[in-house]
Amino acid sequence: MASFVESQNLNGCKVNALYDEGRSPFLIVQIEPSAGSTSDSSILFYGHMDKQPFGPGWKHDPTDPVIENGKLYGRGSSDDCYALYAALLSIKACQAKGLSHPRIVITIEGSEEGGNTEDLIYYLQTYKHLIGEPNTVICLDTSAFLEDTLAISSSLRGGCNFDLSVKVGEDNMHSGYSGIVPDPYIIAISLLSRIVDFKTQEVVKDFEVEIPQYRIEEAKFVASRIPLLSAMLPKNEGLLSRAHEQPKEDENFHLLLNQTWKPSLTVVGQNGIPENLGDSSNSIKSQVTLRCSLRLPPTYDVKVASQKLQAILQADPPYNAIVKVEPRSSGQGFDAPPLRSNLQDALFEANKQVFSGNLPLFVGCGGGIPFMDFLSKQYPGANYILTGVGFPDSNAHAANENIDLEFCRKLITTLALTLSKL
């Protein structure tokens, strides 16, 4: 990546490829303002180079990119390996067209997917003399919904990952003893029912917040503009959405609130039960562990959530089984402040130039970027533009991940025009 940056021969460019001992790799690219620029803006681009595990189901080798019907398929294509190249090419476009641009720093980290913010914080603090004091942070790691405009993520959900373990013995036992010894998997599932309603899949109100009215109005507007969210995902035909019981005209609105401002639980892994049916045996397992992901509203304190989870799940264990809740990675949510007027004007005008007069959509994001809370405290006066190429069918974190190349080109053009107006 550092070699690619150097090969672009950008004016005023300095590349810092960092790999400090005991840390993941980190890239800082400094680009001085264009000659004659009088802008007082300072821009920080963010992206990450690490990726999720490949997983099964790929129609192509996930490490050998393939272009089909205008989309490039490969692991990390839309999450988030395009970020460096998009940021870099937006600057190159400015320089090639003789457009001015402010001082810009690009940071690309290597530990985002694991939810580890320690390395990012270390690098940002240790090398703050290279980064300076940005007043605008552009994060290229979020969603897209429509081909005819950018989506700006106005909020991000927090996340609290944890392992729920249930132990009933030292060794597995013949399933013939199932009338005597309780099953740890069933105990684990029953414990989860304390925090989620299995019929509606709604998480208990202990983990909710009062949704700001302006975010409710924002969701109503976006819901009226975009296709039905559940229809944009690679789900089974005929599968009902989480808001299917709402009136049809309100379904998309409720899906947006579910995804962006309400908590939700997903079981993402397990230990103690064979992965393959061929390896199964008629036995009561001695211990079962479920790895769970609890998505939280943007303003919910993730530390409070972790404490509540442990209190709720470990209280009064069924059958006196040994129950443990072990916190894993977590990340605080983020609710973006309003854009300052000159930044909003620049972004809106650029978006209209590229997308046939359309303004960008401001909408919450159901995922999270753990470091945004840190950045908002590190640079309290900064504004944040969180955008990306992650359409629902881009399949981030799943097989056949892809990026729409034409949409990415338009994103790069919009970024270049925005930079030229600051």
- Residue 260: name the closest of 303, 209, 302, 306 by CA: 209
**Would you call 101 helix, strand, or coil by DSSP?**
coil
- Nearest-angstrom CA–CA distance, 366 and 297: 9
Distance CA 119, CA 329 (A): 13
Secondary structure (3-state) at 394? helix
Whole-number CA gyration radius for the chain: 23
Give me the tens of pLDDT residue by residue for the chain, a chain 422 residues long.
999 999 999 999 999 999 999 999 999 999 999 998 889 999 999 999 999 999 999 999 999 999 999 999 999 999 999 999 999 999 999 999 999 999 999 999 999 887 678 999 999 999 999 999 999 999 999 999 999 999 999 999 999 999 999 999 999 999 999 999 999 999 999 999 999 999 999 999 999 999 999 999 999 999 999 999 999 888 999 999 999 999 999 999 999 999 999 999 999 999 999 989 999 999 999 999 999 999 999 999 999 999 999 999 999 999 999 999 999 988 899 999 999 999 999 999 999 999 999 999 999 999 888 788 888 988 989 999 999 999 989 999 999 999 999 999 999 999 999 999 99
Q: Which residues of 338-355 are buried (b: 16+ CB within 10 A; e: fewer)?
A: ebeeebeebbbebbbebb
Cα–Cα distance measured from residue 142 to residue 187, given in angstroms and rounded to the nearest whole number: 37
The whole-angstrom separation of Cα 298 and Cα 221 is 19
Structural tokens at position 378? 């590190």
Burial 207-228 (b: 16+ CB within 10 A, else e): bebebeeebeebbeebbeebee
Instruction: Say if residues 13 and 88 touch (Cβ distance below 8 Å).
Output: no
Q: Name residue 141's amino acid.
A: D
DSSP per residue over 350-390, as a string? HHHHHTTTPPPEEEEESS--TTHHHHHHHSTT-EEEEE--B
Tell me what pLDDT residue 207 has. 98
Which amino acid is located at 375 in the chain? L
Distance between CA atoms of residues 334 and 260, nearest Å: 11
Q: What is the dihedral of CA 30, 34, 35, 40, to 10 degrees?
A: -90
Respond yes or no on whether the N-terminal peptide bond of residue 80 is cis (omega within 30° of 0).
Answer: yes
Under 8 Å between Cβ of 400 and 77: no
* Residue 416 three-state SS: helix
Quote the CA–CA distance of 86 and 1 in Å, as a whole number: 13
Q: Please, are residues 419 and 90 in contact by the beta-carbon 8 Å criterion?
A: yes
Bridge partners for 18 per DSSP: 26
Q: What is the dihedral of CA 88, 92, 93, 95, to 10 degrees?
A: 140
**pLDDT at residue 374 in the model:** 86
Question: According to the model, what pLDDT value does residue 63 have?
Answer: 95
d(CA 113, CA 80): 10
What count of other Cβ atoms lies within 10 Å of the Cβ of residue 111? 22
Cβ distance 180 to 414 under 8 Å? no
C-alpha–C-alpha distance, residues 74 and 399, integer Å: 9
Q: For residue 3, how many other CB atoms are within 10 A of its CB?
A: 8
CA–CA gap between residue 418 and residue 70 (Å, rounded):
25
Count CB-CB contacts under 10 A for residue 106: 25
Place of tokens 């975010």: 215
Query: Taking CA 262 as the corner, what is the angle to CA 120 and CA 271, rounded to the nearest 5 degrees?
Result: 65
pTM over 0.95? The answer is: no
DSSP state, residue 401:
-
Q: Which domains does the chain have, with CATH numbers?
A: 2-156+334-420 (3.40.630.10), 158-209+261-331 (3.30.70.360)
